[in-house]
Amino acid sequence: MPRFDRARLLLAITLGSLALGSALALAGVSAWLITRAWQMPPVLDLSVAVVAVRALGISRGVLGYCERLASHDTALRAAAGTRSEIYRRLAHGPADVTARLHSGDLLARVGTDVDTRADVLVRALVPIGVAAVLGVAATAVIAVISPAAAVVLAVCLLVAGVLAPALAARAVRAQEVVARRLQSDRDVAAVTALEHAAELRVAGRLPALIRQAEQRQRDWGAAIDRAAAPAAAAGAVPTLAIGASVLGAVIVGIGIAAHTAPTTLAVLMLLPLSAFEATMNLPAAAVALTRGRIAKGRLADLTPAEATPRAVTITRPTATPALRADDLRAGYPGGPAGQALSLTLQPGARLAITGRSGAGKTALLMTLAGLLPPLSGEVTVDGVPTNALSESELRSAICYFAEDAHLFSTTVRDNLLVARGDCDDEELSRALATVGLGDWLDGLPEGLDTILTGGVAAVSAGQRRRLLLARVLLCPAPIVLLDEPTEHLDAADGHRILDSLLQGRLLPEGRTVVIATHQLGNDIACPRLSIGNDG
């Protein structure tokens, strides 16, 4: 991942080899022309060489441009195909693959890491292929003139094309891992600031978070600079190899000068200069390969090969199942574990999970929904562990509604149909009216066909919350888990909606409803589970 088209890759390497082959031939013909012109032959003896120099100079530029077109076209096609495959895996694969990642980290992987993998073709595979072809060709030409000079050239090419890139890759590997982590941290901080700017501003934490993002950017830049320093030092090795090769060619040339034509000696001296043109890019190619391997590992972690994508088919169960947790400790992978708890929710049960922000309410809901694996203990649906259920079976039984669930930049209808795709317009309008958006819908220019341009940016925080509540009403799953469903609503409306959800007026009494909130009033009578701040 990404998968490059081999035919297109071969075409790019061929064009690149022809472009630098033109440069190699240009150096040889130019050396012959300069030396032969010094002998002052008839002008017609030089005409073919003069035309060849012009043709080779032009063809180098044209072929180089064609190689760029071919390699970039292949890389962009591979990147587009990779992103499509990632989105397909994320849509149809296990939900816990992405549930454990922050949206900023997801953005870094789907964006930057895919681009880094695509860069491998342009910055590594093509240069390596071209350098191999050109090195063999140059060595073969020199071998015709002098086997000894060919051996010197081959050794110097190996130093420049193998040793220098290996040193560069080894030197930057650790720094690139650090840089990649800092880049993800920067994106996490930036996305958090963008998505929660209003709340953070009210809490007085927005300036600190922006400073954190800026510091992560500076740290990332410093890590990239540290990674570039050893690569730059390794980049000097090909220059030293060029000098050694030319010096070797001079020594060999002096030894064979007595029985070799001056034009041939000129070719022997100047050809190595062009032979190393391809190897100059190989230390950078090694760095690109190293970055590509790191990106490949992050993408493989995002979409593991064993997670075969399958279409998720949600059906409406005939009865509401019982949800049970035994000695459950919930938490995010790598984070602290919450308090151990056991609970049984019979069909139609109502439960309010309370606790201050950061207490672990969200992690508990996601674990009950099967989105996060339990750190210990077990969650069962009608006696079957959640990890033994298929994605279709799990989503048909339980649906989790996140506090920051996404609104898409599409129509109001499409934003509601993500909950259940077979709803008609009457059902959608009724759900919006139930959550208090009837007048809002009537005021839209195109009704349900109105496009929410920019998604969240098209509605207020309260309207977004009510749209997400409308999805809850439309969802067919008999067990619904709601995370802060009344956040951003005024106190009176929030209290009214919580009371309706927990008393069975908004959702049928046969459905099991679990709500995580820190706004539950004492006058709402329902079972409560209070969790501490260690989760």
The pLDDT tens digits of the residues spanning 357-395 come to 777 888 888 888 888 888 888 999 988 888 888 877 888
The verdict on residue 382 lying in a domain is yes
352/476 same-domain check: yes
| C-alpha–C-alpha distance, residues 184 and 173, integer Å | 17
**Which carries the bigger pLDDT value, residue 115 or residue 10?**
10
Residue 299: the pLDDT is: 78
19/149 same-domain check: yes
Nearest to 339 by CA among 311, 359, 309: 359
523/379 same-domain check: yes
354/469 same-domain check: yes
CATH code of residue 42? 1.20.1560.10
The verdict on residue 312 lying in a domain is no
Q: Which of 240, 270, 302 is the last residue of a domain?
A: 302
90/224 same-domain check: yes
234/374 same-domain check: no
pLDDT beyond 50 at 535: no
346/271 same-domain check: no
Contacts of 312 (CB under 8 A, 6+ apart): 92, 391, 392, 395
pLDDT beyond 70 at 307: no
Residue 533: the pLDDT is: 47
What are 53-67's pLDDT values in tens digits? 899 889 989 999 999
- Give 118's pLDDT tier (boundaries 50, 70, 90): confident
Specify the pTM. 0.61
353/403 same-domain check: yes
Longest dimension (CA), the chain: 110
Q: Which of 302, 333, 368 is the last residue of a domain?
A: 302
Residue 177: the pLDDT is: 67
486/339 same-domain check: yes
Residue 213: the pLDDT is: 82
Question: Number of folded domains in the chain?
Answer: 2
| C-alpha–C-alpha distance, residues 247 and 416, integer Å | 74
Q: Which of 273, 302, 331 is the last residue of a domain?
A: 302
What are 504-516's pLDDT values in tens digits? 777 878 888 898 8
Angle between helices 6-38 and 44-92 (to 10 degrees): 160
What are 482-492's pLDDT values in tens digits? 888 887 777 77
280/328 same-domain check: no
Looking at the chain, the whole-number percentage of residues with pLDDT higher than 70 is 89
Domain hosting residue 451, numbered range: 323-530
